Amino acid sequence: MTIRNKFAGLAAGLALGALPVAASAQDFINILTGGTSGVYYPVGGALSQIYSQGIEGSKVQVQSTKASVENLNLLQQGKGEIGIALGDSVKLAAEGNADAGFPAPLDKLRGITAMYPNFIQIVASEESGITTLEDLKGKALSVGAPKSGTELNARAILEAAGMSYDDLGKVEYLPFAESVELMKNRQLDATLQSAGLGVASLKDLSTSIPITVVSVPAEIAETLGAPYVAQSIPANTYDGQDEDVATVAVINFLVSSDNVSDDLAYDMTKLMYENLDTLKAAHAATADIDVQNALTGMPIPVHPGAQRYYDEVGVLAE
């Protein structure tokens, strides 16, 4: 079963007009996201709307970050209440992987829910001639911000394909929007972006120059193993992409920490699932979030507050 099918079935949402839950005067909620041209940021904005209206007395803000790795380190340091991160980054954080940006295990992280899949999307300018992973050799590729979740994905994909950064002509460590601007100016051949389908940066690129969406064969997912799974980018996701393109995907998780009270974690979990329509309106990538899959593949302990909600609605760990 594909990850997209597994996450099919949108849980029924309740209107934001429901009575807000009471909040402590201390309920400050900093939501850690990613770059403003990615998917994390609008999803964080939707969560901010949900929590601001649903948790009485709360003070909510959305912080743009370098995404997964930075978000997890900030949560460990108590500098955020909730954040989004890729599953492989969460796993490496819990283990303490220095190469991935985690010199020691992050023991304060607590899981809230599985969310939606990030698709590894490698997009090249048509004039570069890149159509396969092998064609990236000798070319200029942006792999995301240093030690971001996207950059960890880039390293993993290239290694599984028998390649490394040394095989590339040039490596740029840039966020999504900056990568796209360089491609428009013919200063970069391709960009690797780990994001939900229809990410704004690649939509912008595809309407600006002719592109090629580069295939990542299913055997790459087999080589990497969990949490990577084979997937495809549907035809017409981006302008000029006329066919489905094979790739791999990784689930995103909503993560908190043991610094957050059980009551607040419960409220944040419950309100998210009662307002899935707000998330869907923020970005189509969230359309298949389903509470029945909330604990699927969770690589860290579940926050007791979130677990209380899952106990109430009958969701079991897998």
The pLDDT tens digits for 153-186 are 999 999 999 999 999 999 999 999 999 999 999 9
Q: Residue 180: what pLDDT?
A: 97
Q: Residues 199, 282: one domain?
A: no
Phi first, then psi, for residue 233 (nearest 5°) are: -95, 115
Q: Residues 245, 257: one domain?
A: no
Q: Residues 76, 184: one domain?
A: no
Task: Note whether residue 7 is domain-resident.
Answer: yes
Task: Note whether residue 77 is domain-resident.
Answer: yes
Domain boundary among 205, 222, 250: 250
Q: Supply the range of the domain harboring residue 245.
A: 118-250
Q: Residues 157, 97: one domain?
A: no
Q: Residues 137, 177: one domain?
A: yes
Q: Residues 122, 234: one domain?
A: yes
Q: Is the dihedral of CA 186, 126, 116, 224 positive or negative?
A: negative
Q: Residues 136, 169: one domain?
A: yes
**Residue 224 pLDDT exceeds 80:** yes
The pLDDT tens digits for 87-103 are 999 999 999 999 899 99
Task: Note whether residue 268 is domain-resident.
Answer: yes
Total domain count, the chain? 2
The CATH number of residue 147's host domain is 3.40.190.10
Task: Note whether residue 180 is domain-resident.
Answer: yes
What proportion of the chain, given as a percentage, has pLDDT over 70?
Answer: 92
Domain boundary among 208, 225, 250: 250
Q: Residue 148: what pLDDT?
A: 86
| Residues near 41 by beta carbon (within 8 Å), at least 6 away in sequence | 33, 34, 35, 62, 64
Domain boundary among 250, 279, 295: 250
Q: Residues 183, 291: one domain?
A: no
CA distance 103 to 14: 42
- pTM of whole model > 0.85? no
Tokens of 299: 């690589």
CA distance 202 to 200: 6
As a whole number, mean pLDDT of residues 97-119 equals 95
Task: Note whether residue 318 is domain-resident.
Answer: no
Q: Residue 20: what pLDDT?
A: 59
Q: Residue 12: what pLDDT?
A: 35
Q: Residue 147: what pLDDT?
A: 79
